[in-house]
Amino acid sequence: TSPTIDLAPNCEIEYPPFVSFPAMQPPDTLQKVINQLQLERHVENGYFKETDRSPFTIDYSQSEYPSGSNENPDLAMPTRTEAPRYEGKRSYSTMIYYLLTPDAPITKMIMNRSRNIHVLQKGKGQYVLVYPDGTIKSFKVGFDYENGEVSQWVVPGGVYKASFLLPNEEFDNGMLISEIVVPGFEFSDYKPIPGKKELETLVGEEKAELLKPFL
Ligand code: GUN
């Protein structure tokens, strides 16, 4: 569990119009931010830049986990009661900027082995988490605390996450966040949801249909 998320009220998943009809390009204001922060397109959609990677590393290859137990990457992902298993070296931490814009308003659903610390910089969005037991949690991120929005949220390792942009005036329909991963991000710790079937197995047919835009 994660206090920052457990305390956020659960929200209905209603996609704003630009999820079905993305813009051709970002508005000038957001293009300026992309240029100033030197963001690039990300495989999950959106724009990102790795702004920090700790020069210190930790070597997990000597750790107590029996070797060979990580052949199935799913088994190496943590569950709510299990610590993550890493193989090899990791940076102590990494940090990125991540930006959603009306031309890139929705992410793919992915999971990381490491827990992921998110800090909102500007704008509004909505997150959707799918836990290993199929529980779905969705919450809004923004600075309207009165209405249950949160500006910090920590997604545990082994939990699928996805997000979409919510219309907002304060940042021209953008959402800029920072993400900190400890130990640091590696693609070998990263897993997109394989497809509709896996989603159906996790959450059932009806809810998988609702979450289809994240595939
Ligand atoms: N490279 C590609 N995706 C990512 C990511 O999500 N985080 C970091 N740190 N680097 C990446």
Return the pLDDT at 73. 62
For 145-161, the pLDDT digits (tens) are 999 999 999 999 999 99
**Residues with Cβ < 8 Å from 207, sequence gap 6 or more?**
136
One CATH from 3.40.640.10, 1.10.760.10, 3.40.50.2300, 2.60.120.10 for 3-214: 2.60.120.10
Q: Which residue's C-alpha comes closest to atom 8 of ligand 1?
A: 185
| Cβ-contact 140, 179 below 8 angstroms | no
In the chain, % helix, strand, coil (3-state, to 5) comes to: 20, 35, 45
Single out the residue of 2, 6, 1, 8 nearest to residue 142, CA to CA: 8
Return the pLDDT at 32. 98
Q: From CA 107, how far away is CA 99, in angstroms rounded?
A: 10
Please report, for the chain, the start and end positions of each structural domain, with discontinuous segments joined by +.
3-214
Return the pLDDT at 139. 98
Single out the residue of 98, 158, 132, 140 nearest to residue 12, CA to CA: 140
Phi-psi region of 43 (alpha: psi -120 to 50; beta: other; left: phi over 0): alpha
Whether residue 185 has its Cβ less than 6 Å from ligand 1: yes
Return the pLDDT at 70. 53
Whether residue 126 has its Cβ less than 6 Å from ligand 1: no
For 177-199, the pLDDT digits (tens) are 999 999 999 999 999 999 999 99
* Mutation to probe ligand 1, out of 39, 42, 111 (largest number of atoms < 8 A from CB): 42
Whether residue 96 has its Cβ less than 6 Å from ligand 1: yes
Q: Which residues of the chain have pLDDT under 70?
A: 64-75
User: What's the ipTM?
Assistant: 0.90
